[in-house]
Structure 1
Amino acid sequence: MSLAALRQLMTPVRYLRIQHPAKRLLDVIVPALMAGLATACLMLLPYPVRLLGDSGLISVFTDLLQILVGFYIAALAAVATFDRPGMDAPLDGEPARLIERRNGALVPVNLSRRRFLSMMFGYLSFLGLVLYFWGALAGLLAENLRDTIPVEIYVFAVPACLFLYLFWICNLLVTTLLGLHYLSDRIHR
């Protein structure tokens, strides 16, 4: 596979490269705080919460992701084809920018509402698919990993992997709420 083809497959991740004053807060800080708090609560409960299996935490998220990915793809299609002049106008307030290569030079490009929302729902679709397969793979490999990883490492690996998984789930949640804000309110102003 060529590098260009791989870059095309990773296009939805470009959403994380958008520059805006609120992006770091919404993409990193809030999800990290939520995931840290959730991980700490889950690890400190007197009765452990089941993480894997049919009624485990990851299974619950995997079931939800099956529904959400379809919503994200439908929202992406709607935003891309929504016939309204304001969709191609720049975002209100501080512009959201993306540094792009144009004629060999890196140029900051202000994003329109349509492009921003398309990038957002493309990213959410991509992340939802990745988390779905990550959760399914975790369920399939958990017993094998538990038996092959030394106990000293496993004790630290479980909370670390749980935090990482919950970070991306929280990132998905926060970004979904931002997308819902735009679709339910900002797009109609």
Structure 2
Amino acid sequence: MLLKQILMPFGYLAIRHPHKWVVDWFYPALATLLTLLGLLYATEVSLLLAKGGMVSSLLSFVQSLPGFYIAALAAIATFGRADIDSVLPEPTPEVKVKFIGGENIVKLTRRRFLAMLFSFLTAESIVLIVFSIFAIELSSSLSLFSAYGVNVGWWISVLLLALFFFAFYQLIAATFWGLYYLGFKLHE
């Protein structure tokens, strides 16, 4: 049960909405693919993961985000306008909630949607920071891995980069979606 509670911020990904998959999965996957194709053509993979490389530079930006996400989460939780607790218009995002007796589908209010979104963004940014630190530290020894004449370290590096860029672009896309809701939709 404790593990379920710890992983609850990732429950945002379980929200059902017809357009949400585009923000959560399609845009990040497309941006990751385009980024990897461009970077693999333009530079050496090991330089991207090395200390002082691109991942390291982006990490310094990502490290500043959890504090802002937590502040946004606190503001959403304490926001005083009554309309923030009204259900979002159609198509209304929904989430499956487990109660003691079973499961119910709950239509989300603005407050609940934004709280789930910024909770997810906080958790994902923390995971991305830890992942990046491990990837940067691991990258120096990846060039040593090879098997049957194949540079396995290069493939592991590409996989690490793909995971990093996917999570990074997912973070950026969801952040902009959250800013859209906070800046525009909340005032309608």
- TM-score per shorter chain, which class? over 0.9
Number of equivalenced pairs: 185
1:64 pairs with one of 58, 61, 74: 61
Say whether 1:107 aligns with 2:104: yes
- CA RMSD of the aligned region, Å? 1.5
Q: 1:90 aligns with which of 46, 69, 87?
A: 87
Aligned residue for 1:185? Answer: 184
Cα deviations across residues 64-113 of structure 1 (Å, max 9, x unaligned)? 11111111110001001111101100112211000111242221100110
Gaps of 5+ in 1: none
Following superposition, the deviation at residue 144 of structure 1 comes to 2.8
1: distance between equivalents of 2:91 and 2:5? 28
3-state SS of paired residue (1:77): helix
* Residue matched to 2:115: 118
**One-letter code of the match for 2:168?**
I
The partner residue of 2:49 within 37, 52, 58 is 52
Q: 5+ unaligned residues in a row in structure 2: which ranges?
A: none
Question: Hey, what does 2:35 align to over in structure 1?
Answer: 38
Per-residue Cα deviation, 1:132-176 (whole angstroms, up to 9, x for no partner): 011111122222333245453223222222112111111001000
Instruction: Indicate conservation of the 8 Å contact 2:135/2:160, yes or no.
Output: no
Q: How does 1:3-22 map to 2 (within 5 A)?
A: 4-22=1-19
Equivalent residue, structure 1, for 2:125? 128
Query: Contact 2:144–2:153 at 8 Å: present in 1 too?
Result: no
- 1:17: how far off? 0.2
Is 1:168 aligned to 2:164, yes or no? no
Letter in 2 for 1:116: F
- 2:49, 2:55 within 8 Å by CA — same for their partners in 1? yes
